[in-house]
């Protein structure tokens, strides 16, 4: 599969054939970054990175740096190849399991998470971030529109946007919540 990073101005990347890997559609990426607005100089954390397309999109739009966390080694090797071939700086790619691989006591301007659909992981992400004392200005979680999510108490999105088969859930900045 091939996808284009950076909208129409971007470059095409080859996505490895990995079961369950489904890069965020260009229409959804475009809508998300229009909602976020100017991200020049912002930090970007990409959870369940898969192809790395969201980190690439953020960097192409001026993010100061991006971190991609992904469990699948084949996926991270593919991202590292892109990083090398395109000489991309300020992109840290790590092969780690989540939530154990999350940093502790960190701040990110934007956190984007695209966990495997329908496994109940989306609902856990705000809790994981809280447990690792990760704070943010924007948290967006992608999930299949057909899935009904049950957010943990104290971790409820402020809005959601449906784009056909995909729904994006937006969260407000962290508020002190007893865990």
Q: What CATH number does the domain containing 64 carry?
A: 3.40.50.150
CA distance 137 to 16: 31
Q: What is the DSSP pairing of strand 107-113 with strand 43-47? A: parallel
Q: What is the number of structural domains in the chain?
A: 1
Residue 164 lies in a domain: yes
For residue 128, what are the domain limits? Answer: 40-171
Residue 62 lies in a domain: yes
Residue 5 lies in a domain: no
DSSP 104-171: SS-EEEEEEE-PPTTSS-GGGHHHHHHHTT-EEEEEEEEEETTSPP-PPTT---SEEEEETTEEEEEE
Element (H, E) at 35: helix 26-36
**Residue-by-residue pLDDT tens, the chain, 179 positions:** 444 555 445 667 666 666 666 677 889 999 999 999 999 999 999 999 999 999 999 999 999 999 999 999 999 999 999 999 999 999 999 999 999 999 999 999 999 999 999 899 999 999 999 999 999 999 999 999 999 999 988 888 999 999 999 999 999 874 554 44
Residue 138 lies in a domain: yes
Residue 34 lies in a domain: no
Residue 24 lies in a domain: no
Q: List % helix, strand, coil for the chain (3-state, nearest 5).
A: 25, 30, 45
Q: How many other CB atoms are there within 10 angstroms of residue 105's CB atom?
A: 8
């Amino acid at each position: 599969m091939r996808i284009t990073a950076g909208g129409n101005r971007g470059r095409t990347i080859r996505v490895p054939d990995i079961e369950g890997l489904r890069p965020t559609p260009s229409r959804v990426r475009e809508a998300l970054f229009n909602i976020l607005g100017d991200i020049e100089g912002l930090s970007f954390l990409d959870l369940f990175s898969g192809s790395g397309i969201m980190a690439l999109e953020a960097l192409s739009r001026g993010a100061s740096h991006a971190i991609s966390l992904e469990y699948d080694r084949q996926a991270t090797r593919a991202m590292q190849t892109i990083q090398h071939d395109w000489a991309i700086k300020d992109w840290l790619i790590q092969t780690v399991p989540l939530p154990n691989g999350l940093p502790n006591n960190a701040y990110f301007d934007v956190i984007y998470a695209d966990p495997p659909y329908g496994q109940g992981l989306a609902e856990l992400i705000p809790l994981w971030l809280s447990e690792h004392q990760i704070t943010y200005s924007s948290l967006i979680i992608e999930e299949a529109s057909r899935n009904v999510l049950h957010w943990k108490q104290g971790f409820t999105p402020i809005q959601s946007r449906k784009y056909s088969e995909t729904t994006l859930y937006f969260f407000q900045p962290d508020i002190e919540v007893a865990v």
